[in-house]
Amino acid sequence: NAVRTFHFAQFALGLSLLIAGVAYAMFKSSGGEQSTQAMVLTVLVPAAIGYMAPKYWITRRLEARKEEIVNGFPDALDMMLVCVEAGQSLDQSIIRVSKEIRAGFPALAEEFEIVSYEMKAGKERVEVLRDMGERAGVPDVASFVTVLIQSTTFGTSIADSLRVYAGEMRDKRVMRAEEKANKLPTKMTLATMMLTVPPLLIILIGPSVYGVYTTLQSFKGM
């Protein structure tokens, strides 16, 4: 249904804006002569915008969802580690984590809920985890899935694997925060130059320009 709705939105918006472009082009041509290039652009540009708008919206939503999963994943791992060390199984800890993080990270909570439902339905844990990694589309989640699959396959302690990987995720979050902080001075410098240099030039050069202008006007008066 979602795929059909997406294609319908592309078709409907593209066709609607195409009709609107044709109507506007006919209105403009009735008022005066219009070049063929301008008429084609008036018709095709709105249609292209209408066709591409749903894809752009979906892409933005997908990026926002991935960012939400990346931001909430370290906290979810820490909470899962606490649950496992408290004696809960991996399935129980996933259910608990999905309930606890829903308020802050609903996209990640939804992924964990899907995992818990599929496990309850009797699906193999390895297959469920692989499906989660493919759905999320985030490298951190894919690496986490690989760690859990290896722990399940080789019989190693899940708590130890979670502890090591949770530490790595915390370090990655700190590195991402530092990277964003290091980019801020460059962005602020550009904004500061755009906002301060033009007024400063007006203050410094404005009187001189006005003086030259008045001098030229006085010469014209002679």
Task: Look up tokens 């030039």; give the residue.
Answer: 201
Asked whether residue 212 is assigned to any structural domain, the reply reads no
Whether residues 22 and 115 share a domain: the answer is no
SS (H, E, C) the chain: CHHHHHHHHHHHHHHHHHHHHHHHHHHHHHHCCCCHHHHHHHHHHHHHHHHHHHHHHHHHHHHHHHHHHHHHHHHHHHHHHHHHHCCCCHHHHHHHHHHHCCCCCHHHHHHHHHHHHHHHCCCCHHHHHHHHHHHHCCHHHHHHHHHHHHHHHHCCCHHHHHHHHHHHHHHHHHHHHHHHHHHHHHHHHHHHHHHHHHHHHHHHHHHHHHHHHHHHHHHHHC
Asked whether residue 186 is assigned to any structural domain, the reply reads no
Which domain covers residue 88, as residue numbers?
A: 68-177
Residue 221 has a pLDDT of 62
- Report pLDDT digits (tens) over 142-163: 888 888 888 878 877 888 888 8
Whether residues 46 and 78 share a domain: the answer is no
- Report pLDDT digits (tens) over 88-103: 888 889 899 999 998 8
Given 143, 159, 177, the domain boundary residue is 177
Whether residues 34 and 88 share a domain: the answer is no
Whether residues 59 and 118 share a domain: the answer is no
Nearest to 125 by CA among 93, 99, 96, 82: 93
Q: What is the pTM of this model?
A: 0.72
State yes or no: pLDDT of 33 exceeds 90: no
Residue 85 has, within 13 A of its CA and on its CB side, a CA count of: 11
Whether residues 115 and 26 share a domain: the answer is no
Whether residues 22 and 90 share a domain: the answer is no
Whether residues 145 and 78 share a domain: the answer is yes
Asked whether residue 93 is assigned to any structural domain, the reply reads yes
Q: What band does 114 get if pLDDT is binned at 50, 70 and 90? A: very high
The whole-chain average pLDDT of the chain stands at 86
Given 143, 162, 177, the domain boundary residue is 177
Whether residues 59 and 79 share a domain: the answer is no
Count of domains for the chain: 2
Average pLDDT value for residue range 182-191: 81
Residue 154 has a pLDDT of 81
Whether residues 57 and 155 share a domain: the answer is no
Average pLDDT value for residue range 182-186: 83
